[in-house]
Structure 1
């Protein structure tokens, strides 16, 4: 194939993906995001939230309803420009070269583009590549099918949807998808496909060892109930004149395992009265601190939230 044929093929491919197609893709991308957000909330029940509050579901829903008309079109445009539209070019060329329905090739390249973009959060924030790629691939399915349906309808009727027609249909589709998410989310949770998070159950012997956090914080739990603290945040003394929600302490102290807040020496303020470790220094630096047990059996954690549960300072210790 000569360069002239390649250029003509690229030109035809670009013309094949029209502004009407982009409008439909943006509308479908935006319409599916609220339902995807709802599903993420149900999926979050399988993870430890560390007792951090978000203002409650009512506040979250109110924020979505308030800002969705402004944010969703922008997010839909971003996904279309980054994933849906670029995949249309190689899809058209592959359909002409190897035959087959164009929408099927479009789906294939949308998945590949999604996998490519999944590398970015993996590198920047250490996300799971498989999970991120699957999410991006899933978010690309409906826009591709929506464009294919709009094209087929235009060929059958001789009329294309305008921007207004796309967006009011997208609004109806958004409500429908949210309804399915509200039904499907509790269903998969009830059937056990998504299991609610359960913190690990650790004995005192399993807790013994060195636990490290940020900024050099370290907690060494010795067998027999002794503890050594290094730059460890702790609950400030009652009435302490400090602008911080915690104090940083060093030295020796004691620790004990508190099962679901049943120990009489502690009121049990861990999230949902979960098992925790109570630590107190010998020299009186700060009050005793309740470190809640979290993480998993293979990778346990100790954490405490200082200050306001909705906007507090979360500190996490991981086993060395």
Structure 2
């Protein structure tokens, strides 16, 4: 990797040892890329947290164990972890995309930073395809997220290179990580203030679960480990490997539910804060279980939180 950001490298360029960074240039680039990647992570984490708070909480307590652990991670662990996460991001996406950008700039005119931005979605799509094959992640959403995560580091790396060309020497370790710290705090505060203003002005709406009719609920709902619930018109239900409230109702049991199958009945319940589907199995397996309606109008879900509301076992059913 070089520091020339025009893409017009020629035989008359200075040898690598005479350029800013010299023989250590690849390590200087990697350090700068890792610092820029790490700078955006707290703000991204806050955006994710705001999104989860505005989304379905699946009946969990807003002051549960997860939130306490998240705050502890933010205050104590995050400053130690962020540099390594930023380095990992730089290694798997930012630096390889930079290599592709420099390869393209040797054959097609244009600044390296522009080709870097073009290469970011290429690497994002490659990793999204791998994640889709290995872990069944949604390809389009994953590719878009990885692309968004790479834009700011690519622009930040281009800025640091430009500053290096102007000053004639690369920034040292603290020369990139201290600005990364200040940028991280600034981005975090901007997202925080934006979230507060959006909530106060009403631009950010609280989550509203969908209101479904009995006819809209009929059909097959599937979950993990082969769980399936078929809701038939007229109130009949068929269960297969479906988690159900255990006979004992013991929160501390492991697991805190029974796995049942067979036939039963169901009805739409509009009692309480949220609508739900009450399923009762014919026979002696488990007890009557209320599956709460969640998700969205276009992608509805049924869920139950078994055990402790603060750290229970969440089971979700989606349209089969």
- TM-score, length-normalised on structure 2? 0.79
Q: How does 1:110-259 map to 2 (within 5 A)?
A: 110-187=120-197, 196-238=206-248, 243-259=254-270
C-alpha separation in 2, matches of 1:111 and 1:219: 39
* Aligned match for 2:105, one of 86, 95, 98: 95
Mapped partners of 1:249, 1:123: distance in 2: 31
Which is further off, 224-233 or 273-282? 224-233
Distance 1:287 1:55 in 2: 28
Query: Could you tell me whether the CA contact under 8 Å between 1:210 and 1:221 is conserved in 2?
Result: yes
Deviates more, 1:30-39 or 1:191-200: 191-200
Residue 84 of structure 2 corresponds to residue 64 of structure 1: no
Q: How far does residue 82 in structure 1 lie from its aligned partner after superposition?
A: 1.6
Q: How far apart are the structure 2 equivalents of 1:93 and 1:213?
A: 46
* Cα distance in structure 1, aligned partners of 2:92 and 2:155: 17
Deviation at residue 87 of structure 1 after TM alignment: 2.4
Residues of 2 paired with 1:145 and 1:112: CA distance?
Answer: 16
Change (3 A) 1:122 1:278: same
CA contact (8 A) 2:66 2:311 kept: no
Seen in structure 2, the aligned counterparts of structure 1 residues 210 and 67 have a Cα distance that, compared at 3 Å, is same
How many pairs are equivalent?
304
> Bigger shift: 191-200 or 83-92?
191-200
The Cα of 1:180 is off from its aligned counterpart by: 1.4
Q: Deviations over 1:182-235 (max 9, x none)?
A: 123455567787655432211223333444444454434344444444443221
Deviation at 1:51, TM superposition (A): 3.0
SS of the residue corresponding to residue 127 of structure 1 reads: coil
Instruction: Note the C-alpha offset of 1:276.
Output: 0.3
Per mean C-alpha deviation after superposition, the further-off stretch among 280-289 and 184-193 is 184-193
Q: Specify the alignment match of 2:3 in structure 1.
A: none
Cα separation, partners in 2 of 1:282 and 1:106, compared to 1, 3 Å: closer
Cα offset, 1:52, TM superposition: 4.6
Secondary structure, in 3 states, of the residue corresponding to 1:98? Answer: coil
Assess, with a 3 A threshold, how the Cα gap between structure 1 residues 100 and 6 changes in structure 2: closer, same or farther. closer
Unpaired runs of 5+ residues, structure 2, are 1-8
Distance 1:197 1:281 in 2: 31
Between the aligned partners of 1:148 and 1:212, the Cα distance in structure 2 is 47
How far residue 47 of structure 1 moved from its aligned partner, in angstroms, is: 4.4
Which one of 25, 29, 34 corresponds to residue 21 of structure 1? 29
**Residue of structure 1 equivalent to 2:291:** 291
The two structures have a TM-score, normalised by structure 1, of 0.79
Following superposition, the deviation at residue 305 of structure 1 comes to: 1.4
